[in-house]
Chains A and B, each alone.
Chain A
Amino acid sequence: MIPLKSAKEIKTMEVGGRKLAWVMGQIKIKPGMSLKEIDRLAEQLIEKQGGKPSFKMVEGYHWASCLNVNQGVVHGVPNDYQLKDGDLLSIDIGMFYQGLHTDMARTIRAKSEESGVRSQDEKFLEAGKRALAKAVQAAKSGSRVGHISQAIEKEIKRYGFQPIQALVGHGVGKKLHEPPAIPCFLKGKIANTEKLKSGMTLAIEIIYTQGKPKVVVNNDGWTIETADEQLAGLFENTVVVTKRGPIVLTKKANYT
């Protein structure tokens, strides 16, 4: 059963989501920074906002964020690796605020001031951002989970990249992972997937790669990488399905 959130819970997640978006926006990376530094920064910022790092509440995981470099896909354990110029870093953070989790992720390039823009990487990142936007649009009350999956798959493939099949987005709220599972590709008929209703809070994740979708887990038991060592990207937002359409919760406040 997909849990529905009350209006009060949605308001709390709205505030939490804004705080998380602020944290994400504050993390600027440069070549030379170590992953441990970035994780520590994320943790400090989360606590500054009055929340707790959600990932530390996961059994066996002791960091505030998942940091994945280049062919790293998800669940990268922060270590002493120092970012090189041009590295693609995927940052995934979750924040537990007043009893509810919000989850978001971005992939960004580590570049020094002088380095130019590498157009293939820009295209790769653009694919993920566009897919996330389209996926969010598809999360309408009355549509189905399959519509979201289809939107992700279509946009990623349109750019010539591959969605990863072994990893999925998820419902989020009282627990970090709740039903439904939201794959990045459509398997079977849309009609066989769950219907979306107002009050559902979903962490929609775009997980994709330049190469083949096969992934393997490292010897540390957490870090997941592409088997063919091609670049991988990750974009995620927490959204709430409402009668008037989907609303992104992990977005910075609009100051008018």
Chain B
Amino acid sequence: MVEYSRMIKQKKEEVLGVVTEALPNATFRVELKDGRNLLCYLSGKMRMYHIKVMPGDGVRVELTPHDEARGRIVYREKE
């Protein structure tokens, strides 16, 4: 077996969805391609670069294995 020299991050799944609702504090309701509805928050990088996200936008959401009902918006698709 191999030894770890530092923490290795969990593999996170990335899915596509559409923003349905804008909530306070950079939180959004997103409907994923597969029908699921998630409460997502805007990633720090997107906030830092002032990227506006509105209902109707297509976004990429990062899912964590720890909570099925939450997601992290990491990209806004250009249309």
Interface size bracket, A side: 20 to 34
Contact B2 A207 (CB under 8 A): yes
The size of the chain B interface, using a CB distance under 8 A, is 12
User: In the assembly, what is the distance between CA of A166 and CA of B5, in Å?
Assistant: 5
Q: How many A-B residue pairs have CB under 8 A?
A: 57
Please tell me if A94 contacts chain B, counting CB pairs below 8 Å.
yes
Q: By the criterion CB–CB under 8 Å, are B2 and A219 in contact?
A: no
Say whether A66 contacts B1, CB under 8 Å: yes
Least CB distance, A220 to chain B, in whole angstroms? 10
Roughly how many angstroms separate A234 CA and B1 CA in the complex, as a whole number?
Answer: 11
- The interface-forming segment of B8-16, B22-30, B31-39 is B8-16
Residues of A within 8 A of B2 (CB): 74-75, 92, 167-170, 205, 207, 234
Tell me the bound Cα distance from A166 to B7 in angstroms.
8
Residue of B3, B9, B10, B11 touching A170 (CB-CB under 8 A):
B3
B49 within 8 A of A: no
Chain A interfacial positions (CB closer than 8 Å to B) = 54-55, 58, 61, 66, 74-75, 92, 94, 103, 165-170, 176-177, 181, 183, 205, 207, 215-219, 224-225, 227, 234
Chain B residues in contact with chain A, CB under 8 A? Answer: 1-6, 8-12, 65
